[in-house]
Amino acid sequence: MSDTEQAISRYTTGDLRDRLHAALRDAGKEPAVLQPADLEESDHFHSGGRAATMDVAKAVGIGLGKRVLDVGSGIGGPARAFATLGAVVTGVDVTNEFVVLARELDAACGMAGSITMVQASAQDTGIPDGSFDAATMIHVGMNLADKAAVFAEVHRLLRPGGVFGIYDLMGTNTLDYPMPWADDAQSSYVESDEAYRNHLRTAGFIVTEDNDRSATALKLMAEQGSAQRENPRPLGAPILLAGDPEDRIGNAVKAMKSGAIAPRLLIAVRPV
């Protein structure tokens, strides 16, 4: 089974829309008419949640009029966050259930005109060369066996001078499973930051930053977990984690605290 097939199998549940709609209604929201903030943490499936999304946006320079690609866009939380900053965003994801729901949520938030969701492999998007000023990939690489091919595609899609921001969990793949992104090591593709930098350079990028975000991410996750325990909210945690979320998140936090993995932010530039 390829990494693409593994990702589709891992993340397709068939009831994601129903679960999200139920959570929205439990929170007093109407699913057909939303503001992006109404979705809270439910659509930010990465360590640090929405706060980390906004840190990535700042690091990459996302703002008014920027054409942005989000690789592995899920149900569109980061894309909608970027659009609130004035960006024109294209999200690419291989999972049909995600893409269909993301389009529905974009429309409900009145953002269908500024966000395009494409169902495609990150290695072969079918999008024209030089279409974007910036690109992001947020907690996706752990599902990608061939990162080099994905980075080469992103390089093709960025204009000269374009910026690529990667916020991924990096380190060893020898971990206690299940993890939020995989049930076992055979379907997990964690790599070191050195490997990421090598893949980026091979694709033609210049790596300008490589920052360990563990302390910030663990602090945010502890605050979010404490708030959720004290005042449980239907939308207070990522909706993508269906079944045993506590075990998966617990294993990830343990690995982060031990240093086996670290959420790192890499910034790379396509040379002019």
pLDDT tens sequence for the chain (272 residues): 787 888 888 888 899 999 999 999 999 999 999 999 999 999 999 999 999 999 999 999 999 999 999 999 999 999 999 999 999 999 999 999 999 999 999 999 999 999 999 999 999 999 999 999 999 999 999 999 999 999 999 999 999 999 999 999 999 999 999 999 999 999 999 999 999 999 999 999 999 999 999 999 999 888 888 888 888 888 988 888 766 678 898 999 999 999 999 999 999 999 99
Residue-level pLDDT at 75: 96
pLDDT at residue 227, rounded to an integer? 82
- Whole-number pLDDT of residue 81: 97
The pLDDT, as a whole number, for residue 228 is 83
Q: What is the pLDDT of residue 211?
A: 97
What's the rounded Cα separation, in Å, for the pair 213 and 52? Answer: 9
Provide the Cα torsion 142, 269, 45, 227; round to 10°.
Answer: 120
Cβ count near 184 (within 10 Å)? 10
The distance of Cα 200 from the centroid of its chain, to the nearest Å, equals 18
What is the value of pTM for the model shown?
0.95
The correct answer on CATH 3.30.43.10 for the domain covering 3-269 is no
Domain map (residue ranges) of the chain: 3-269
**What residues have CB less than 8 Å from 180, skipping those under 6 apart?**
45, 238, 241, 245, 248, 249, 252
Instruction: Please identify which residue in the block is written with the tokens 């061939």.
Output: 146
pLDDT given at position 243: 67
Instruction: Say which residues have a Cβ less than 8 Å from residue 189's Cβ, sequence separation at least 6.
Output: 3, 141, 142, 143, 144, 145, 147, 173
